Amino acid sequence: MRKSRIAGMGYYVPENVVTNDDLSKMMDTSDEWIQERTGIKERRWVVPGEDTTSGMGVKAAKMALDRAGMQASDIDFIVFATLSPDYYFPGPGVQVQEALGIDTVGALDVRNQCSGFVYALSVADQFIKTGMYKNILVIGSELHSGGLDKTTRGRGVTVIFGDGAGAAVVTATDEDRGVLSTHLHSEGAHAKELALIGPATRRWVNEIIEENDENDISYFPYMNGSYVFKHAVRRFAEVIQEALVANSCTSEDIDLLVPHQANLRIAQFIQKSMRLREDQVYNNIMKYGNTTAASIPIALCEAVEEGRVKEGDLICLAAFGSGFTWASALIRW
Ligand code: UT7
């Protein structure tokens, strides 16, 4: 049966490094607190005006195409995952189509936050399995820094997030490898525990301007951190297990787990609870913070570059985040 496999990966992070000490000059926080609670040492933030979510996505996509040995013209569909699009509408998929000069192929935008890349990969996998498309560009990109509350009021959220993009060229194969299965979940009951409420159609800009309330922080992301943490550790473990069971595998069979880089403590908790060795889990949140839909493709790309992913390896991707949504993918590389 026709499968999909990742033929090439790419990533891009802005050059501008923001350390924990830099943040402590903006707000009441410390390197010690951030490292102890999250494992993050630094993140990249775009210098205002110097890049965009779609722009970073395009850079990552070019690297992925290059490594796949393909031209932009080989792509017959685009899937773009982000929670921080350049425009409220249209989504950034069309901007990638334009920037890469690809013919008028379809471009789909995925709105699944931290699970966005795994959802997007799942969509690509289904389109390839049905034979509708052959080469799909899957991108996860985020520009968080422009929309964060950089005062002490926002410290519980702001210190975690970073900017960046990752991309994969997903291609059809008749070989016995590639994406084995994907598993997608959601639970909207918790939507407001990690959300950006306004502006939106339930809270238009006019309303915000009329109220002119200096305490209105609805346009900054809100996160009930400890609540999210508790759900995350449970759902991550569940959805990884689901992927393993679906393919008659056990955690011992995993060569590399690439979890969404939400918090190093979450990844360590999963590692311990699933009895995985340190070398079975890939983390780079220390350098980039939480880049939401971009975190898995950036991490997977770095893992490939470092030789941590070899042909024939069993790779597990897993994510959890706003929605709540959570997802996993098992790949025979
Ligand atoms: O990627 C999508 C999914 N997101 C996640 O998975 C994130 C999950 N949650 C987390 O990673 C953690 O909950 C956080 C890192 C966000 C927060 O860590 P925590 O251990 O849950 O801290 P907390 O929110 O319970 O806050 C503990 C204390 C509070 O002070 P009091 O009330 O105990 O006096 C906070 O005000 O730490 C304070 N605090 C900070 N202090 C210094 C919160 N943020 C900071 C900060 N610097 N940046």
The predicted structure's pLDDT at residue 79: 98
212 assigned to active site: no
The predicted structure's pLDDT at residue 201: 86
* C-alpha to C-alpha distance for 192 and 184, rounded to whole angstroms: 20
The predicted structure's pLDDT at residue 42: 98
Q: How far is the CA of 193 from the centre of ligand 1 (A)?
A: 13
Residue 282 structure tokens: 């890939």
* C-alpha to C-alpha distance for 102 and 113, rounded to whole angstroms: 26
Beta strands in 63-177 (DSSP E): 77-81, 106-110, 135-142, 164-173
Q: What is the DSSP letter of 281?
A: B
Out of 112, 263, 284, 290, which one is annotated catalytic?
A: 290
Q: pTM of the entire structure?
A: 0.97
The predicted structure's pLDDT at residue 200: 87
Model pLDDT for residues 255-297, shown as the tens digit of each residue: 999 999 999 999 999 999 999 999 999 999 999 999 999 999 9
- Tell me the best of 27, 32, 37 to mutate to test the pocket of ligand 1, counting ligand atoms within 8 Å of each CB and taking the most: 37
Q: How far is the CA of 226 from the centre of ligand 1 (A)?
A: 7
263 assigned to active site: no
With contact defined as beta carbons under 8 Å apart, do 263 and 157 qualify?
A: no
* C-alpha to C-alpha distance for 256 and 300, rounded to whole angstroms: 9
Residue 192 structure tokens: 């407001």
The ranges assigned to domains in the chain are 3-175, 180-332
Atom of ligand 1 at shortest range from CA of 262: 1
The predicted structure's pLDDT at residue 202: 82
The residues of the chain scoring below 50 in pLDDT are none
Q: Which of 166, 179, 177 is nearest to 302 (CA)?
A: 166
* C-alpha to C-alpha distance for 300 and 251, rounded to whole angstroms: 18
Q: How far is the CA of 37 from the centre of ligand 1 (A)?
A: 7
The predicted structure's pLDDT at residue 89: 94
Residue 168 CB coordination number (10 Å): 31
Query: In this structure, which topology does domain 180-332 adopt according to CATH?
Result: Peroxisomal Thiolase; Chain A, domain 1 (3.40.47)
Q: Which of 256, 268, 263, 282 is nearest to 321 (CA)?
A: 263
* CATH for the stretch 3-175: 3.40.47.10
260 assigned to active site: yes
**Nearest-CA residue for atom 41 of ligand 1:** 29
